[in-house]
Amino acid sequence: MSILSLRNVSYQYPLEAEKAVKHISFDLKEGKVYGVIGANESGKTTLCNIMRGFIPELYKGELTGEILYKGKDIAEYNIGDLASEIGYSFQNPFTQISGVKETVFEEIAYGMENLGISREQMTARVNELAALFNLEELINENPFELSGGQKQRVALASVTALDPKIIILDEPTSQLDPKSTEDIFKVVEHLKKQGKTIFLVEHKVDLLAEYCDEIFLLSGGEMVMQGKTKDILSDEKVLKYGAGLPQIVLYFLQSELNNANIPLTVEAAYQMLEGSE
Ligand SMILES: Nc1ncnc2c1ncn2[C@@H]1O[C@H](COP(=O)(O)OP(=O)(O)OP(=O)(O)O)[C@@H](O)[C@H]1O
């Protein structure tokens, strides 16, 4: 079933000559992971803000089209209530950290304070999230004194704490090393298994190939390609729009192995080559 639908959505920031998002339509299904790619300034963050209701609530400008959450216009929801339905982790974790809490524990618990749950339940939930996001050793640290990658994990844990149905992640790994990046993707996989719908803006296409069900490609504010991961991330046209393709796909496209069935991951390539021997 579709949990969030956009119908012909366009948006123009105030005083801007051009629309940042143009005629976008899609349906997000429960429990699926969507990877969102596109060159800089193609409209990815703007789209995230529209889906979370920050546009037009916090940013003015002209928004047209329909945004339906569980079949109801998103404007009919209270923006605060939406936080426990649609979680949003910003591109810059500095923006996300509340600034009013002195420990990682309190920071993760912060959003839960208004949900009317007991202190015991809250503590159990924070401990569970600290384990999931590998934050146990940092639990008493001040969030502002952490590294960029650690802050990012705290921000993600805080968003997940509210148990939203949809989680929007805007470039969650941009400040992370390869090991921490892989950890975030493992968390994404874990959240998917819990039935969450994930909308993941990310440039690391090799990992998107492994973890996503579908890919959306934006260019100049338009959705120029959209479909199953294996169809989009093996298509040379993606390069034309300034986005990347997985390393193994680039290799196959340039080699005599180029055929209709390009593998997206190294593992899939091994399996394919073994099968052809
Ligand atoms: N607050 C704003 N006011 C006016 N224009 C904006 C604002 N934020 C973004 N834009 C413009 O909207 C367009 C889309 O930007 P957006 O940040 O959504 O793209 P993006 O794909 O997320 O880029 P990046 O990968 O660099 O984060 C760009 O032309 C940008 O200059």
User: pLDDT, tens digit, for every residue of 16-35?
Assistant: 999 999 999 999 999 999 99
Average confidence (pLDDT) over 89-114:
81
**Global confidence as pTM:** 0.92
Residue tagged 């502002």 (tokens): 144
Task: Give the residue among 206, 25, 174 at the shortest CA–CA distance from 89.
Answer: 174
* pLDDT tens, residue by residue, 244-275: 999 999 988 888 766 668 888 888 888 877 76
9, 42, 59, 170: which to mutate for ligand 1, most atoms within 8 A of CB? 42
Q: Is the pLDDT of residue 277 over 60?
A: no
* pLDDT tens, residue by residue, 223-242: 999 999 999 999 999 999 99
The CB density around residue 174, as the number of other CB atoms within 10 Å, is: 17
Q: Pick the residue whose CA is nearest to atom 24 on ligand 1.
A: 40
Q: Which atom of ligand 1 lies closest to the CA of 15?
A: 4
Indicate the domain borders of the chain: 1-85+167-177+197-229
In angstroms, the Cα distances linking 183 to 172, 207, 250 are 11, 11, 25
Q: Which residues line ligand 1 (CB under 6 A)?
A: 13, 16, 20, 38, 40-46
1-85+167-177+197-229: CATH topology is Rossmann fold (3.40.50)
